[in-house]
Structure 1
C-alpha cells in the first residue's frame, strides 16, 4: 500500500488502543517489548482494561518501564470466570479520549504497522471501519508467514462517534464468540463501509501451536442462536444505554502521572 500525504497522521494519531485484559499479564509482558515502538507515538493512548485484579501490582511495575507510552489502566475488582470481552472493551471505549478507536488483543504482535495502516484508511475513507488480519503462532515457533491462514479478525479501527451511535459492542454475548461480527453488522447497518486491510497484520501468540484449529472448532460449535445474533443484530444490540459501565476504577492515568 502506498501512503501519500501521511505525515499529519504521524504527527497526531488521535487514536485510543483498547486492550481487553483477563489474566494476560504473562503474555503481555512477552509481547510488549516488540510492540512498544508502535505504541509510543504522538496522539496515541493505550488503554488496558483489566477484567480481573490479578497481576495489578506487576502490571503497574511493567508499564513504568515504558514511560513514553500514554497508559490508561482501568480495573475490575470483582472476581469472576472468563467471560466474553465485550463489556471490558466497552469500558475502554467509554474512557477513551481520542477520536478513533482500535481494539486488539494484548498478546498479539504487530507484524506490520497495523495501527498506521488502519488509521490511514479511516482517515481517508470517513464513513468506514477498517479490519486487519491475524494469524496464530506459538512462542516456540518463529513466524514464517505460513504458519496458519490469515483471518480478517484480530483488530478493528473506527471513529468513536460511530461506536457511540451503535452503543458499542453488544454485551449480550457471555461466552466466546459473536461480539466481533455483531459489531461489524451494526456498523454496516448504520451505513459504514467495511474495509479489509490485508497488510495490517497481527500475529496472535500462544504457548500452543493450534490456535487456528482451536478457533475454527469453536466457531463451528457456536449455537445457531449465537451465530444468528452475531450476523443479524436485533434492537437490543442498538439500545444498550448502560454500555461500558460495568466497572470504572482507573488506577493509572497518563494525564495525571506525567
Structure 2
C-alpha cells in the first residue's frame, strides 16, 4: 500500500515536472518570437513599403494601359507645337531641391511624360551621363521638363550614374543608357545630353530626323559660337536606327572628351555638312546628390561591365559598314535657336581631359 502511494505521488510529480518544463520551453520560445518580431519591425516596414510601392506602380501600369487606349484615339500633335515661347531667360535658384522639381512637374511619372491633348509624333529618350554634378542635374531637370512638354513630346529622362572612383567614361554610360532605355520603351529618338548644358530656346526641337542632329550651335561660354569646325558634342540627337548603325560610342575614352569627335570622325567619310545653323543655345553650373527619383530614372552602372551589344568593338564594326555610314550627315538648328547656357564648374576629379583627345 505504501509502495503504491509513493509510486502514485512520484508519477504525479513527474507529470507536474514535465508540464512545468513544457510551459518553460513554450514561454522561452514565445519570448524569443516576440523579441525577434520587435527586431524585425523595421524590416517589416521596409517590406510593406516595397509592397505598397509595387501596388502603386501596378495602379500606374493600369493607368498607362488606359492612357494607351486614349492616346490611340487622339489626333497627332502638330509638327510645331502651339505652346512654344522661343528664347527664354534662364534662372538658377541656388537652393533648388529635387522636391521642388517634382512639385513643378505633377504630370511626370518615373521620369516619363506624354501630352494629354494629342498623340506625340516621336517618343524621345533623354540620356544624361552623371557623376558629382547634383546641382547641375537639378538645374537641367527643372528647365528641361517644361521645355520638352511645351514641344508636345512623349519623353523619358534617364540619368545614367557612374558608380565607383574610376575615371569618368561618358561614352560607356550613354551606350548603357541606350540599351537600358530600350528595355522600357521602343524609343524613336535618343538625345545624348551633357548635364551642364541647359537649352535657352524651345524652338530648338528635341527630335530626330533623317540625319544625326547636333543641337548645340553655341553656348554662353564660347560667345554662342560653334566651338570648332566639326564639333559634335554637348547635346546630340540620333534615331534608334542611326545609333545602332554606328554601333554607339567608343568605350575607349576615359576622362573628359574624345568620344564625340571619334563618333564624328567615323562619319567623316560621310561627307559631313553643317546643314542649317540657326536654332540652338546652352548654359552651364556645378555639385553632388543622391539618385533622382520621380523627376527622372536613374541607372547606376559600373563602367567596366560588358554590354548586350559589343560596343567595345564599336570603331572596328562601324568602319566595316561604310555603305551604311556614308549617307549620314550632321544637321544643326539655326544659330539663334541652338543656344545653350553652360553651368560653369571646375574639372571633376576622375574627369580630367582625355590624353587621347
Asked whether the two chains share a fold, i.e. TM above 0.5, the reply is yes
Give 5+ residue unaligned stretches, structure 1. 53-78, 138-145, 212-217, 228-258
Aligned length: 171
d(CA) in 2 for partners of 1:34, 1:207: 19
Structure 1 distance, partners of 2:188, 2:224, is 34
> Which protein is richer in strand relative to its size?
1
Structure 1 runs (4+) deviating above 3 angstroms are 39-42, 146-150
Distance 1:30 1:158, change over 3 A: closer
**Residue 84 of structure 1 contacts residue 177 of structure 1 at CA under 8 Å; is this kept in 2?**
no
Q: Is the 8 A contact 2:147 2:202 kept in 1?
A: yes
Cα offset, 1:35, TM superposition: 2.3
Length-normalised TM-score, structure 2: 0.42
Alpha-carbon shift at residue 201 of structure 1 (Å): 2.1
Q: Deviations over 1:127-186 (max 9, x none)?
A: x1111224245xxxxxxxx75644343211111112112221000111221100111222
RMSD across aligned C-alpha pairs, in angstroms?
Answer: 2.9
Residue 245 of structure 2 corresponds to which residue in structure 1? 165
Q: Is the 8 A contact 1:109 1:203 kept in 2?
A: yes
What does 1:79-118 align with in structure 2 at a 5 Å threshold?
79-96=164-181, 97=185, 98-113=187-202, 116=205
Which of the residues 330, 335, 341 maps onto 1:194?
330
Helix, strand or coil: the match of 1:183? helix
Aligned to 2:161: 50
Deviates more, 1:38-47 or 1:92-101: 38-47
Which ranges in structure 2 are unaligned for 5 or more consecutive residues? 1-75, 82-119, 271-321
Is the counterpart of residue 132 in structure 1 residue 215 in structure 2? Answer: yes
Return the structure number with greater relative CO, CA threshold 8 A, min gap 6: 1
List per-residue Cα deviations over 1:42-71 (Å, max 9, x = no partner).
32111111113xxxxxxxxxxxxxxxxxxx
Asked which structure has the greater CA Rg, the reply is 2
1:154/1:202 contact within 8 Å kept:
no
